[in-house]
Chain A
C-alpha cells in the first residue's frame, strides 16, 4: 500500500468517568479501505467521530498528512462522513442535499479575502455527475423523506463524495437496509471506493461486511484494539479468544504448549505449526469447524458423541460432545444424533493463541442455541451472521 495518511497516537477518551477509548494507536494509509469492527459500545464510532472532528479526545493526537489536527474543526478537515441513518437535511430536496457542501465551499480568490463561491454552473455539473454515478438521475427534486432507504443511502454517499474529500468516513451505513440491498450496496461501495480512489474508514459490527470489503480490519473491544490485519490474517491467525470468536465460528479449547509445534489437549498431543511459546505454557487452541475431519472412531485423535445436527444446505452443523466440552463441526457427511464419531485435525487446522483476559469466555457450544442467538445479536439486528 501507499503512504500513511492518518495516524492516531495514544488516543484516550472518557465520558462521565467511563473509559470509551483506551490508548488507541493506529495508522491508516492513503486509498485504503479500513474497517473498524467490534460489538456495540467497543469505541469504534467514537474513534470515527474523533477522526471526523466531532469529538475531542481526552488525550492523544490525531495526525492528518503529518500535521496534528486535534484542534481543526470538522468543516476545515478534508474528510466527509456518511452518517448512521444518513442525517440528510429533510427541508432540502435531493439536489440541494448533494449541493450543500459545494455551496459552502470557498476557492481562493485574490479579490476576496473569504474566497469565492463556486459558480452555479460548476455546482450543477458536479452535482449532476455525482447523482448519475449513484444512479439517482431524475430524482433531483424529490424530497429526501420520499425516498427509499437505499436511495437515501446513495444520496448520503453522493452528498459526501461530491466534495472530493481525501477520506470518507462511513458509520454503519448499511445498518438500516434489508439483507439483499445490503449485499448489493457492499459491492457498490467497494466499486465506488476503487473508482474515486480515496481512503474509506468504515465502521460496522457485521464481521461478514468487514471481511468482504476491507483491505484492513481493526477489531476493537472495550475501547482497545484487539487486532489489526488483513481479513485473511484476522480469520486465520486470531490473536485471542475474542477475535477468534467474533470472526467466524471457533472451537476454543484449553491446551498446553508442550514444546514448539506440539500442543496437548484432552491429555493427547497434537502436532501443529505454531511455536515461540514457553515450555508447558497454558494456551488457547482455536480449531475452526470446517478444519475438522470426521473419521471412524478407531482412527480418530479424539472420540465424541453427536448431540445435535442442523442441515445448512452446503453442509451440516453438528455439535459433538468431547468429555463435556461441545464442539461445532461443519461437515458434508451426515452423522445421526447419538452416534459415536472420531475426529482428526491437520496440523494447519490448529491455531495456538496466548492466554488473554478473554480465555474461557468463548468457544464452547454446549448451550448451542443460546450461543447462536447471541451471535445473531452481535452480528446485526437482521441476524444473518451465522453463515461464515
Chain B
C-alpha cells in the first residue's frame, strides 16, 4: 500500500517534470535539425546556429538586449540597493508598508506594467512637445527637440523600473539580517557614513546585491511584454525579434536562438543558487577550522601586492563594462539612417548589408506582427518608421486617412522595372504612394494521401467527408472570404445577406465537426506532420512545407482565390525621406528582387526578376526549377485573372465580420 503510494507519487512527479521540460527538450533537439521543420527530423546539423549568427536581425537584437540588460541591471542595482538602505532607516510600520508596495509591480501582470508605461511615456511626450514648442518659440538661444518617440531611452527606463523591485527584494533580507548597530560601530570607529557603507555594509549585503543584480539581468534578458510596449519602432530586443520571426514562417533559427536564451538564463539562475548554497554552508561551518578559498583570497588582497591586484581587477572590470557598453552602442551612432518596418522573415537580410555597404545608410529594420498592430502603433504616435510594407487593403486605409507621403518617382528609377500588371492597383489607382514589394495567393494546401480525389473547389473545406481533417485559417477576413468565393460572391461584398450566408456555410461545417481547429503558424507543423489533410494558406509558405512533406499539393480553386500585394510606402513627415526612397529603389532592383524572391518564397513584382528567376534558381542550386513550382510561386496570368484582391471595407462591414467571427465557436 505504502509502496504503491510512493510509486504513484513518483509517477506524478515524473509527469509534472515531463510536462515542464519536454517542450524545452523538443525545442533544443529540433534546433539541431538538418531540415527546417519542427516536426520532421532530418538529421543532425549545426547550420541553424550558423545561420542564426549570420542573421543580422538576430545579432542586432542580441546587442540591443545585452546593452539594455547590462545598463538596466547596473542602474537598477545601484538605485535598488540605496532604496533598500533608505527603507531600513524608516520606522518598521512605514517600511513594511513600502515593501509591500514594492512587491506589487512584481506580482502585477506584465501587460499592465507595459501598457501603463507606454501610456505614461506617450502622455509625457505630448506634454513635452507642447513645452518644447513654447520654449523654442520663447527664445532662440537653445532649441529643445520637439518630437520624442518611444525607443532605446524608454526601453531602458522601463527595464530599470521593473528591475528595481527585484533588487530591493534581494537586498532587503540581507539588511534585515545585519546587526542594526554595525553602521553605528563603523562610524564610531572613524568612518564617515560613506566609508562605513563601503567597508562594512557592502561586504555584509553583497550576496544580496549580487543575486539581485543577476535576477534583474535575467528578468531583463527574458522580458518580452514590457519591452514590446515600450521599445517603440526603432528598437527590438531578442524576445521581440523571435516573436516577430514566428509571425510569417517558423524557422529552426528560432529554436537555436531560444536554446541559447534558455541556456543563458539557466546559467544565471544556477549561479545565483550556487552562491546561496555556498553562503549557507559557510555560515554553518563558521566554527570549523580550515581556511576556505575566499578567505585565502581575502588575505591575499590584504597584502600590498594584493591591493594592486585588487585595484587592477577593479579597473579591468570597469574597463570591460565600459568597453561592452561602447561595443554595444557602436550600432547607434549618428550616421544616415532609414527606419524600415516589415514582416518577420520577409527579407533576405544580406540585402540590408549590401545596401548599407553601397550607400553608407544604416538600416534600422524592424518587424511588425500584422497590419492591424502596425496600424495601431502608427496611430498611437509611438512609432517613427520611414518605410512600411503594409498589405493592399491597409494601404487603401492609410491613404484615405492621409498617413502616407507621395513618392518622388524620379528618385526611384527602378519603379520602371515593375510589371505594369502590378501598377495602379485598386488600393493606389494613380500609383502616387507605393512601390510593390511582393505578391501571392491564398489557396488550398492539401494532402492527397489523406483524402479521395483532387480538390478544385473551396467546398472541400466544408465537406463532411473531410470531417476533422480541415484547418480553418484564423483570420475573419480570409475565412469568411473563402466562403464568399465558394458561394460565388465577391470577397469585397458589403451586402450583409451575402456575408451572413458565407457565415452560415462556416457555421454548418463547424457544427458537423469538419474543422479540426483555427490555426495560423501551427499550420506548418500540422500539415508537415500529416496531422491534417486540408488547409488554406499562402503559396509561399506551401513551398517551404513541401520541403518537409512531398505529398502536399497546392491549388487555386475554380471559384478563384484572394491575391494580395504588399507594397512599400513612406509615412507622412518621415524624418529620412531621401534615405527611404533610396531603400525602396534598391529593393525594387532586379538583383534584390531575385534574392528576395528566392529567400522569402513570394513572387516579386519586378518584370525582369520574374523572367530571370528560373535561370537564377538553376545557377544557385544546380538543378532546373520545376515548372509546376514556378507556377505556384508566380501565379500565371490566366489563373490570377480568377483571383480577387481585398479592398478596404467600410466600418460597419468590418464590425459585422468581427461579430460573426466571435459568434463562430470553434
Contact = CB atoms under 8 A, between A and B. Distances in A.
Interface of A: 16, 49, 52-54, 73-75, 79-81, 83-85, 87-91, 96, 100-101, 104-105, 143, 145-146, 159-160, 163
Nearest to A92: B203
B7 interface: no
A175 to B, nearest CB: 13
B184 A83 contact: yes
A101 B196 CA distance: 11
A87 B185 contact: yes
B188 A80 contact: yes
Given A83-B185, A87-B182, 12 more contacts: A52-B184, A74-B188, A83-B179, A100-B189, A101-B190, A104-B191, A104-B195, A143-B286, A145-B287, A146-B286, A146-B288, A163-B190
Interface residues of B, number: 22
A49 B188 CA distance: 11
Nearest to B179: A87
A157 to B, nearest CB: 13
Given A87-B182, A91-B203, A81 B188 contact: yes
A75 B190 contact: yes
Nearest to A90: B204
- The interface centre, meaning the residue of A73, A75, A84, A105 with most chain B CB atoms within 10 A of its CB, is A75
A80 B179 CA distance: 18
A367 B320 CA distance: 74
13 contacts: A53-B187, A74-B184, A75-B187, A75-B189, A79-B188, A80-B188, A87-B182, A89-B185, A96-B302, A100-B186, A104-B191, A146-B286, A163-B190
By DSSP majority rule, is chain B's interface helix, strand, loop, or mixed? helix
Contact of A81 (B184, B200, B204, B287): B184
A179 B657 CA distance: 86
Interface string B182-226: 101111111110010001100110000000000000000000000
Nearest to A147: B287
A368 to B, nearest CB: 38
Given A85-B179, A104-B195, A163 B184 contact: no
A74 B187 contact: yes
A81 B181 CA distance: 10
Contact of B187 (A16, A73, A96): A73
Contacts of B184: 49, 52, 54, 74, 81, 83, 87
- The interface centre, meaning the residue of A49, A88, A104 with most chain B CB atoms within 10 A of its CB, is A104
Given A91-B204, A146-B286, A146-B287, A84 B181 contact: yes
Given A75-B188, A104-B189, A146-B287, A83 B195 contact: no
A116 to B, nearest CB: 14
Nearest to B193: A73
- The interface centre, meaning the residue of B182, B187, B199 with most chain A CB atoms within 10 A of its CB, is B187
B181 A85 contact: yes
A105 B190 CA distance: 7
B453 interface: no
A115 to B, nearest CB: 11
Nearest to B283: A145
B298 to A, nearest CB: 8
Contacts of B429: none
- The interface centre, meaning the residue of B188, B199, B204 with most chain A CB atoms within 10 A of its CB, is B188
- The interface centre, meaning the residue of A49, A101, A163 with most chain B CB atoms within 10 A of its CB, is A101
Contacts of A54: 184, 187-188
Contacts of B181: 83-85, 87
Contacts of A84: 181
Nearest to B206: A91
Identify the 10 closest CB pairs spanning chains A and B, nearest first.
Answer: A104-B190, A87-B181, A101-B189, A91-B203, A87-B185, A83-B181, A74-B187, A81-B188, A145-B286, A146-B287
